[in-house]
């Protein structure tokens, strides 16, 4: 990923919503034609990266119908139809404001924007970082930090344990078994793991062998949702959201966040 460098101001830059939208749609059309040589059957979606400064931000938001995202997608679809680009019915549009853009994205002339055309052969590697805070029970640290590049983050009792097959498992988030904290007693050696889902652009939590019935359990309560989510299978995970609280075993509680506690 590379940081977005804003273009220098010049007389060719669109200076109102209508001209900006027209210029953007023209640029999208050109990029679609380049991506597929005039045919769009293999295009899965369009990612737009917008890095407008505070003065122009409102104009850019209006140009892409930020409050009505489907409306801008419909305009792109009409252009695709006019130029026989044949976009598939399930193509998606993603708008990203003031975020890092991938190196693969193309900067658009005279606009503080970049575009990335996603195809079936090209998977955009997203990035993210998360934090897990210990609310109840005793782990080796009060807060754990991990990123999308870290792979699988194991959670369980003790740091290193030997599993049934004879191999050793390393728990990145470890709850010592010799702790006098009652919640630690009900955490399995192989309780759960967290991993990055690139398609969703978020972290997922999965139960491991020791974290599904009839053994110890995993229950999740999302912020603003009073209903409990229970993981009853090692194959079906839960997409983590800001503020999710996760109960491991009987009463060990951890909280997930995309921000450090001091932010």
**CATH number where 141 lies:** 2.60.200.20
What residues form DSSP beta bridges with 117? Answer: 46
Contact predicate 111/9, CB 8 Å:
no
Q: 3 in a domain, yes or no?
A: no
The reply to whether 156 and 216 lie within a common domain is yes
Q: 5 in a domain, yes or no?
A: no
The reported pLDDT for the residue numbered 14 is 85
Q: 94 in a domain, yes or no?
A: yes
* pLDDT tier, 7 (very low <50, low <70, confident <90, very high otherwise): very low
Evaluate if residue 4 carries a pLDDT over 60.
no
The predicted model gives 68-77 an average pLDDT of 92
* pLDDT tier, 5 (very low <50, low <70, confident <90, very high otherwise): very low
The reported pLDDT for the residue numbered 37 is 57
- Of 119, 142, 175, which residue is a domain's last? 119
Q: 60 in a domain, yes or no?
A: yes
The reply to whether 81 and 163 lie within a common domain is no
220 versus 4: the higher-pLDDT residue is 220
Determine which of 203-212, 218-227, 248-257 has the lowest per-residue pLDDT on average: 218-227
- Separation of alpha carbons 109 and 117, rounded Å: 16
Contact predicate 135/248, CB 8 Å:
no
The reported pLDDT for the residue numbered 226 is 73
Q: How many helices (H) and strands (E) are present in the chain, helices listed first?
A: 3, 17
The reported pLDDT for the residue numbered 256 is 96
The reply to whether 69 and 171 lie within a common domain is no
- Domain span at residue 143? 129-257
> How many domains, in total, are found in the chain?
2
Per the listing, tokens 């090692």 go with 234
Evaluate if residue 39 carries a pLDDT over 70.
no
- What is the model's pTM? 0.57
The reply to whether 71 and 164 lie within a common domain is no
The reply to whether 97 and 161 lie within a common domain is no
By C-alpha distance, which of 193, 195, 116 is closest to 148? 195
Q: 249 in a domain, yes or no?
A: yes
Q: 262 in a domain, yes or no?
A: no
The reported pLDDT for the residue numbered 142 is 95
Evaluate if residue 68 carries a pLDDT over 70.
yes
- Separation of alpha carbons 259 and 190, rounded Å: 26
The reply to whether 114 and 90 lie within a common domain is yes
pLDDT digits (tens, 9 = 90+) for 124-144: 677 889 999 999 999 999 999
- Of 119, 147, 166, which residue is a domain's last? 119
DSSP 3-state assignment of 118? strand
By C-alpha distance, which of 28, 45, 132, 33 is closest to 88? 45
The reply to whether 109 and 173 lie within a common domain is no
* pLDDT tier, 110 (very low <50, low <70, confident <90, very high otherwise): confident
Evaluate if residue 94 carries a pLDDT over 80.
yes
The reply to whether 177 and 245 lie within a common domain is yes
The predicted model gives 72-90 an average pLDDT of 90
Q: Please report, rounded to a whole number, the percentage of residues in the chain having pLDDT higher than 90.
A: 52
The reply to whether 208 and 252 lie within a common domain is yes
**Exposed (0-12), middle (13-18) or buried (19+): which is 219, by Cβ within 10 Å?**
middle
The reply to whether 44 and 68 lie within a common domain is yes
Contact predicate 188/249, CB 8 Å:
yes
The reply to whether 76 and 178 lie within a common domain is no
Q: 87 in a domain, yes or no?
A: yes
Q: 10 in a domain, yes or no?
A: no
By C-alpha distance, which of 189, 187, 71, 96 is closest to 134? 187
- Separation of alpha carbons 79 and 28, rounded Å: 9
Give, in order, the Cα–Cα distances in Å from 50 to each of 61, 91, 136: 9, 20, 41
pLDDT digits (tens, 9 = 90+) for 145-179: 999 999 999 999 999 988 877 889 999 999 999 99
The reply to whether 175 and 241 lie within a common domain is yes
- Of 119, 147, 182, which residue is a domain's last? 119
Please tell me which of 3-12, 38-47, 104-113 the model is most confident about, judged by mean pLDDT: 104-113
18 versus 6: the higher-pLDDT residue is 18
């Amino acid at each position: 990923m590379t940081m977005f460098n804003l273009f220098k101001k010049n007389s060719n830059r669109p200076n109102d919503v209508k001209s900006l939208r027209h210029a953007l749609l023209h640029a999208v059309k050109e990029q679609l034609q380049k991506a597929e040589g005039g045919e769009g059957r293999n295009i899965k979606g369009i990612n737009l990266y917008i890095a407008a400064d505070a003065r122009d931000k409102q104009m850019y938001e209006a140009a892409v119908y930020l409050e009505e995202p489907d409306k801008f997608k419909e305009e792109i679809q009409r252009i695709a139809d006019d130029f026989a680009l044949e976009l598939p019915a399930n193509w998606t549009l993603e708008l990203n404001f003031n975020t890092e853009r991938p190196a693969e994205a193309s900067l658009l002339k005279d606009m503080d924007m970049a575009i990335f055309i996603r195809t079936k052969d090209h998977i955009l590697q997203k990035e993210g970082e998360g934090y897990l805070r210990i609310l109840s029970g005793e782990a080796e640290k009060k807060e754990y930090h991990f990123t999308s590049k870290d792979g699988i983050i194991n959670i369980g009792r003790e740091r290193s344990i030997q599993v049934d097959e004879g191999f050793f498992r390393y728990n990145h988030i470890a709850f010592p078994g010799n702790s006098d904290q009652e919640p630690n007693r009900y955490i399995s050696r192989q309780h759960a793991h967290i991993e990055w889902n690139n398609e969703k652009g978020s972290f997922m939590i999965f139960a491991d062998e020791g974290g599904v019935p009839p053994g110890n359990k995993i229950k999740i309560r999302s912020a603003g949702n009073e209903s409990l989510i229970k993981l009853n299978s090692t194959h079906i995970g839960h997409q983590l959201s800001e503020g999710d609280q996760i109960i491991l075993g009987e009463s060990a509680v951890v909280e997930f966040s995309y921000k450090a506690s001091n932010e």
